[in-house]
Copies of this chain bind each other. A is one copy, B any other.
Amino acid sequence: MGGLDRIMNVIIMAGGAGTRFWPVSRSHYPKQFLKIIGPHPLIEETYLRIAPLVEEKRIYIVVHEAHKELVKEIFKGREVRVVTEPSGRNTAPCIGLGLIHIMEEYGDGPVVVLPADHYIGDVAAFQDAICSAVSVVDKGGIVTIGIVPSRPETGYGYIKRGEPLLGDKEVFRVEAFVEKPSPELATQFLSEGNHYWNAGIFVFRAQAMMEEFRRYLPEVYEGLGYLRDSLGRSNFEKRLKEVYQRITSISIDYGVMERTTSDLFVIPGHFPWSDVGSWQAIFELRSHERDEDGNLLDGNTVVLNCKSTFVYSRSERLIGCIGLEDIIVVDTPDALLVSHRGSTQDVRRCVEIIKERGLEEFL
């Protein structure tokens, strides 16, 4: 299985701002460009996972125009396509923009949508799931890869599976998309075994998804049609700005998946996965790198009597830690974060305060 036996196209969505990784993540250098877990930037890790399955030039990376040069630098010498957005409009317009490029170039065909900034722990299992999904959508419908939960996580949305697709090994109809659950509900999901984490990975045929846009997001569809008419022409950039100024900002989940009456399938993904949503998530993902006191130490550190403490340094500074427990220290040349491990979701709020105070140079 795998290889290039099966033709497919890929949209890597790389438009995020990643404010939860401040102060390492900055507006000019968001999360997906950071080597935050693994040896490559997250976006490159995403590329490397899918690259063995697809022709390089059929991989479309959709990115904010401010980050175009960053992407080009990372993918120098590779034939991937870089598609820019003038502003972030959530995942539906992002996927739509990728789609019109793909259809212009290759017509109809399977499309795999991947967020650029997630972690996947077993590449072979991931590739298996993608190949299964591509073969399912040959017969129509939309497939999502649902991650088999390893804990009663309340920070993720869930997908409830329905009947199995007859004749297939592990494909189920989607019964419902479920919002982030309460701890009780998450525990119930885990014990029942019929809910998966929504990882934002979707597979469909290009034409089928355009049809969904036409039905459920007609304004987005109209904007995409207007853009498609000028693809490859000199007025494209002007039209792109125009369209993006008024296009609805909406997620593919809310705009299409939760509304459609088309066939929706879920394939269980049996691999470690994380949306890498906080410093705490990094600390958990890198558990094997911790020392005997549970500390995870990057950089130039002197540590005394600390437990379960995470130092992530992107500076040359010497960092002394004494008597800490469950603390995260993130050091950069011009900004420093010290947070309790249980509070790293609030980094986003911290960034908002910095913005409110007009301290733009630190964003």
- Scan A1-27; emit 1 where CB is below 8 A from any B CB, else 0: 000000000000000000000110000
The number of residues on chain A lying at the interface, defined by a beta carbon within 8 Å of a beta carbon of chain B, is 39
State the number of copies, please. 2
Minimal beta-carbon separation of A121 from chain B (angstroms): 28
Chain A residues 267-325 with CB under 8 Å of chain B are 300, 302, 304-305, 316-325
A182: CB under 8 A from chain B?
A: no
Q: Are A339 and B323 in contact, with the CB atoms below 8 A?
A: yes
Residue contact A337 to B324, C-beta cutoff 8 Å: no
Q: By the criterion CB–CB under 8 Å, are B346 and A304 in contact? A: yes
Residues of A31-82 contacting chain B, CB below 8 A: none
Give chain B nearest CB distance to A306 CB in angstroms: 9
A231 contacts partner chain B, Cβ-Cβ < 8 Å = no
The answer to whether A317 and B305 touch across the interface, beta carbons within 8 angstroms, is no
A322 neighbours in B (Cβ, 8 Å): 337-340, 343-344, 346-347, 350
Interface residue stretch chosen among A141-149, A186-194, A327-335 = A327-335
Question: Which of B304, B323, B336, B342 contacts A320 (CB under 8 A)?
Answer: B336
Known A323-B343, A343-B323: A23·B350 in contact at CB below 8 Å: no
Cα–Cα distance between A194 and B344 once the two chains are bound (Å): 51
Return A277 CB to nearest CB of chain B, in Å: 15
Residue A166 is within 8 A (CB to CB) of chain B in the complex = no
Q: How many Å from the CB of A64 to the closest CB on chain B?
A: 24
* Given A324-B327, A327-B324, A340-B324; A319-B304 close (CB under 8 Å): no
Determine the residue in chain B with the shortest Cβ distance to A332: B317
Within 8 A of B (CB), among A334-363: 334-340, 342-344, 346-347, 349-350, 353-354, 357, 359, 362
Contact B338 A302 (CB under 8 A): no
Quote the shortest CB–CB distance from A207 to chain B (angstroms): 47
A302-B354, A343-B305, A346-B304 known; A338 vs B319 contact (CB < 8 Å): yes
Residues of the B chain whose Cβ atoms lie less than 8 Å from the Cβ of A300 = 359
Chain B residues positioned under 8 Å from A319 (CB to CB): 335-338
Q: Which of A302, A331, A338 has the most CB of B within 10 A?
A: A338
List, in ascending order, chain B residues with CB within 8 A of A324's CB. Answer: 327, 338-340
Q: Count chain B CB atoms within 10 A of each CB in A319, A323, A324 and give the residue with the most.
A: A323
Interface residues of A (CB under 8 A from B): 22-23, 300, 302, 304-305, 316-325, 327, 329, 331, 333-340, 342-344, 346-347, 349-350, 353-354, 357, 359, 362
A319-B335, A320-B354, A327-B338 given. 17 additional CB < 8 A pairs?
Answer: A22-B320, A302-B354, A302-B357, A305-B343, A316-B334, A317-B336, A318-B334, A318-B336, A319-B336, A320-B336, A320-B337, A320-B338, A320-B347, A321-B338, A322-B346, A329-B336, A338-B338
For this complex, 15 residue pairs linking A to B, each with C-beta atoms less than 8 Å apart, are A302-B350, A304-B353, A305-B346, A317-B336, A318-B362, A320-B335, A320-B336, A320-B339, A320-B350, A322-B338, A322-B347, A323-B346, A324-B340, A327-B338, A331-B336
